[in-house]
Copies of this chain bind each other. A is one copy, B any other.
């Protein structure tokens, strides 16, 4: 879990983070919902105290999905301790009188990139995170698209190959099934890649690709192709100007972006679609925190609920 104090202009004034174990807590007891909440409260309290407890305009939070929205009972896939945890209500109790707004973490990254990052000044932007999963958020006509239930932006479940690999969602051939870090690692291992560590992720695979390992390079090409197809579909459907891509897998740089661009150009042939720019995300690991702050500071564009 990470927290930041963000200024109205988007500058991160203070930042801190703490690991969220999915097993037992450090003292040996099982990590339950309340234990995790206390860990978050402590992180928030320490961050504010170290900065001299400045006045707050509000509280924005990004959390892994799924969640109900805008009520934000959260059940983040990778944090089993929270299932239907009332995150927004708890933050409201903790910060009475302040606006409290919670959205999907990938949506917060997309908001951050639109507000102060690679999509700044553009009206129609897709922000993507290619990491353990593949998530995203969609800004159209200068405003965040929430959709019917706050779930718009799920670029990871755009179908890139109807006969492709099964996806965790129960479907088949989703972008996420092909391009998420663990999927790429599994594919590379099948092709004979032998990582140095057992806890390997897409970040190590991307690093090995940069060192020239042919299987790792091929894995990045595979991911890039799938992302290019999905972005072509999204561009045709939404008439985008910019797609900003972050997350660990994107650290492969040109080894990912070159095949991505090639696949995109092969499929996005209409004049309006060819104008979209596909760029690396600009804000790095604080993008989601800056986007969460924008839920408060720029709610007219990014927060349609109450």
Residues of A within 8 A of B (CB): 66, 123-124, 138, 140-141, 143, 145-162, 167, 169-174, 225, 229, 232-234, 236-241, 263, 266-273, 275, 304
Residues from chain B with Cβ under 8 Å of A158 in the complex: 233, 236-237
Chain B min CB distance to A47 (Å): 33
Is A141 a contact partner of B146 (Cβ separation < 8 A)?
yes
Is A148 a contact partner of B233 (Cβ separation < 8 A)?
no
Most buried by B among A66, A174, A267: A267
**How far is B147's CA from A240's CA once the two chains are assembled, in angstroms?**
6
Residues from chain B with Cβ under 8 Å of A169 in the complex: 269-270
Closest 9 CB pairs of A and B: A147-B239, A170-B269, A157-B236, A152-B239, A151-B272, A154-B236, A158-B233, A151-B239, A171-B269
Chain B min CB distance to A189 (Å): 24
**How far is B59's CA from A124's CA once the two chains are assembled, in angstroms?**
28
Look across to chain B and name the residue whose beta carbon is closest to the beta carbon of A161: B162
Is B140 a contact partner of A152 (Cβ separation < 8 A)?
yes
Residues from chain B with Cβ under 8 Å of A138 in the complex: 237-238
Most buried by B among A167, A174, A240: A174
User: Could you give 13 example pairs across A and B, Cβ below 8 Å?
Assistant: A124-B147, A138-B237, A141-B147, A147-B240, A148-B240, A151-B272, A152-B237, A157-B236, A159-B232, A159-B267, A161-B162, A169-B270, A173-B267
Chain B min CB distance to A114 (Å): 14
Residue in B149, B172, B267 whose beta carbon sits within 8 Å of that of A162 in the complex:
B267
Number of copies: 2
Residues from chain B with Cβ under 8 Å of A272 in the complex: 66, 147-149, 151
Chain B min CB distance to A152 (Å): 4
Look across to chain B and name the residue whose beta carbon is closest to the beta carbon of A144: B141
Residue in B171, B266, B267, B271 whose beta carbon sits within 8 Å of that of A66 in the complex:
B271
Most buried by B among A171, A237, A238, A239: A237
Is B148 a contact partner of A239 (Cβ separation < 8 A)?
yes
Is A159 a contact partner of B229 (Cβ separation < 8 A)?
yes
**Residues A267 and B229 in contact in the complex (CB < 8 Å), given A237-B238, A239-B148:** no
Is A148 a contact partner of B162 (Cβ separation < 8 A)?
no
**Residues A160 and B162 in contact in the complex (CB < 8 Å), given A151-B272, A171-B267, A272-B149:** yes
Residues from chain B with Cβ under 8 Å of A156 in the complex: 236
Residue in B150, B151, B270 whose beta carbon sits within 8 Å of that of A157 in the complex:
B270
Look across to chain B and name the residue whose beta carbon is closest to the beta carbon of A142: B304
**How far is B167's CA from A269's CA once the two chains are assembled, in angstroms?**
10
**How far is B161's CA from A151's CA once the two chains are assembled, in angstroms?**
25
Is B141 a contact partner of A239 (Cβ separation < 8 A)?
no
Residues from chain B with Cβ under 8 Å of A123 in the complex: 148
